[in-house]
Structure 1
Amino acid sequence: MEQSQPAQTGWKVWWQLLRPHTLTASFVPVLIGTTLAIPHTEIHLPLLAAMLVASILIQAATNMFNEYYDYKRGLDTADSVGIGGAIVRYGIAPRTVMAIAVGFCIAAVVLGIYICMESTWWLAAIGTVCIAAGYFYTGGPVPIAYTPFGELTAGLFMGVVIIQIAFFIQTEQLTWFSMLASFPAAVLVGAILMANNIRDRVGDEQNGRRTLAILLGHERAVRFLTGMFATAYLWVLLLILAKAAPGWLLLVILSLPKAVQASRGFHGKTRNTEMMPAMKATAQLNTQFGFLMALGLFLGYTL
């Protein structure tokens, strides 16, 4: 079988299965939510660690559910771009991928039990919904990934909800500012998925998906993605101008070149391999913006 990228062996196969470039969408919101808690309480480090690991496990499990169901539906081939490829390239049994995904979910539940014991058992219901959203993104009779609501779902759960949980387990409260501050992070999490769907638009449409990128078409989808980037920056600026957030949040401007790179990387491109650098830049933007936002909050609260 021909392979579209160099063969991997051993641990590299399993590492690729996690789709590591997407994992920033899980740990960056935890850092932001925890930093937002600094003015209210001392940070409980074991809770922070448990929340970080649980979020990463759920994101990784979601990626593996995606790998499994895309294979089962015939979407993935050895030449598919942007996939882990454990099944179609490296011969890992589909049931093994599913078993690992379920195992990750179980591990996240165990960590969730500890988090609930230290905060409130209401979080058990929220955590269950988060895991279910990860599964039904590509599983179930009507996968979310096949609809125009993928970006909204990803932004809501991996942005807003994770930030609020990370904030709540430290402070035992929610505030209007914690909600407002989660919005740009949610937008950029959704942008990762939008970039992925722009790259895969042609193949997805051929396989019956109706993503937002498909409905908009390539050029309008790229403009929409650029608008998402602009919205995240403008939202932070509005928070500062309204004196709701410290001026240190202007540090996020340092990530602007990555946003420009991501946006330009999609313009005029027709093949998904040509758009891979832009997809990567979008994930890197989420990481840079999120870390800079967390740093700005930290400096604003401690200096």
Structure 2
Amino acid sequence: MISPLRSQSELSTAKYRRDWRVWWRLFRPHTLTAAFVPVSIGTALAIHVTNINIPLFAAMLIASLLIQAATNMFNEYYDYKRGLDNAESVGIGGAIVRDGIEPKTVLLLAFSFFGIAMLLGIYICANSSWWLALIGTICMAAGYFYTGGPVPIAYTPFGELAAGFFMGIMIILISFFIQTGEITLLPVLVSIPIAVLVGAILLANNIRDLDGDKKSGRKTLAILVGRTNAIRILAGMFVVSFIWMIGLVMIKLVSPWTLIVFFSVPKAIVAVKGFVGKTKPIEMMPAMKATAQTNTQFGFLLTIGLLISYWF
């Protein structure tokens, strides 16, 4: 027979594990690669130009992850406040509606993450350029107003564009600049396919949530063009990203080694096929996951290709 003391201990351990998982889900960890990948690519491009400042790289990486996690929390908070999330909602962290965490706690944690990111930003600016303070503030504001404010970006047709620009292009350029002190054409062009794939993650999310978003009054791109055309656009975004890399190799801006990104093509195919013929959000979750994995695989492979081309 199990003693009452031991049973209480086991219950406490189970509760701890459950609480830990609740907080982890709040961060929406599957989205964090959208911050990690651009920093890695920008730094991998910089290594061709200069010696890498590791502390600056670490500060940029942590700040980007914190901003992404905070953006996810703002999303969780404001969707709850607007009545868009409930215990049955698919694809959310669910910390508020399912796990009972106080909304104000989620909001406070999000602003705390922004605060830490700002401190890291001060360190980055002090070791590069104070102009980045303005740029960083704009990027953080975009993270907040994505779901916050009177007219959230996520509720408009411009969500994919905003996410791709700030989480793709801007992070790569900042990561390159803080190491080299300049912006050249190369990081701009290399950032384009990453921006497109980050936008694809948002489009996939909006395809999954199309029916619910329409009822709540959102005007996302997926709603405006319809489910079938949205899936076609998603497929087109994948195609553009891969063809873009071929073009960069053909004009000799990057090494043929970067074409190892094509190993992520199967995951992109899985993503597109996973949406075809599906209408229920739970049915489209594998496709949504495959879209995010395509971005992750593409980005990591591109980083590896850039590093191999430097070493060889």
Q: Normalised by the size of structure 1, how large is the TM-score?
A: 0.97
Whether 1:255 and 2:261 are equivalent positions in the alignment is no
Whether 1:117 and 2:117 are equivalent positions in the alignment is no
Aligned length: 297
Task: Name the counterpart of 1:237.
Answer: 246
Task: Name the counterpart of 1:289.
Answer: 298
The match for 1:127 among 128, 136, 159 is 136
Residues in 2 aligned to 1:244 and 1:9: alpha-carbon distance in whole angstroms: 49
The match for 1:59 among 68, 75, 95 is 68
Residues in 1 aligned to 2:122 and 2:252: alpha-carbon distance in whole angstroms: 38
Q: Percent identity?
A: 64
The match for 2:228 among 219, 224, 227 is 219
> Secondary structure of the equivalent of 2:89?
coil
Task: Name the counterpart of 1:148.
Answer: 157
Task: Name the counterpart of 1:189.
Answer: 198
Residues in 1 aligned to 2:65 and 2:47: alpha-carbon distance in whole angstroms: 22
Q: CA deviation at 1:302?
A: 1.5
Task: Name the counterpart of 2:55.
Answer: 46
> Secondary structure of the equivalent of 2:293?
helix
Q: CA deviation at 1:38?
A: 1.0
Residues in 2 aligned to 1:249 and 1:79: alpha-carbon distance in whole angstroms: 42
Q: Which has the larger radius of gyration?
A: 2
Task: Name the counterpart of 1:95.
Answer: 104
> Secondary structure of the equivalent of 2:300?
helix
One-letter amino acid matched to 2:197: L
Q: CA deviation at 1:195?
A: 0.5
Whether 1:203 and 2:222 are equivalent positions in the alignment is no
Task: Name the counterpart of 1:84.
Answer: 93
Q: CA deviation at 1:289?
A: 0.2
- 1:159-170 equivalent positions in 2, closer than 5 A: 159-170=168-179
Whether 1:138 and 2:151 are equivalent positions in the alignment is no
Residues in 2 aligned to 1:160 and 1:178: alpha-carbon distance in whole angstroms: 8
One-letter amino acid matched to 2:56: L
Q: Deviations over 1:166-195 (max 9, x none)?
A: 000000000011100100010001111010
Residues in 2 aligned to 1:244 and 1:208: alpha-carbon distance in whole angstroms: 44
Q: CA RMSD in A?
A: 0.9
Q: CA deviation at 1:39?
A: 1.4
Residues in 1 aligned to 2:176 and 2:39: alpha-carbon distance in whole angstroms: 8
One-letter amino acid matched to 1:244: L
Task: Name the counterpart of 1:278.
Answer: 287
Structure 1 unmatched ranges of 5 or more:
1-6
Q: CA deviation at 1:282?
A: 0.6
Greater than 4 Å deviation, 4+ residue runs: none
Q: CA deviation at 1:244?
A: 1.1
Q: Normalised by the size of structure 2, how large is the TM-score?
A: 0.94
Residues in 1 aligned to 2:297 and 2:237: alpha-carbon distance in whole angstroms: 16
> Secondary structure of the equivalent of 1:119?
coil
Residues in 2 aligned to 1:275 and 1:137: alpha-carbon distance in whole angstroms: 23
Task: Name the counterpart of 1:108.
Answer: 117
Q: Deviations over 1:244-300 (max 9, x none)?
A: 110101100111000000010000001000000000001111110000001111111
Residues in 2 aligned to 1:200 and 1:174: alpha-carbon distance in whole angstroms: 38
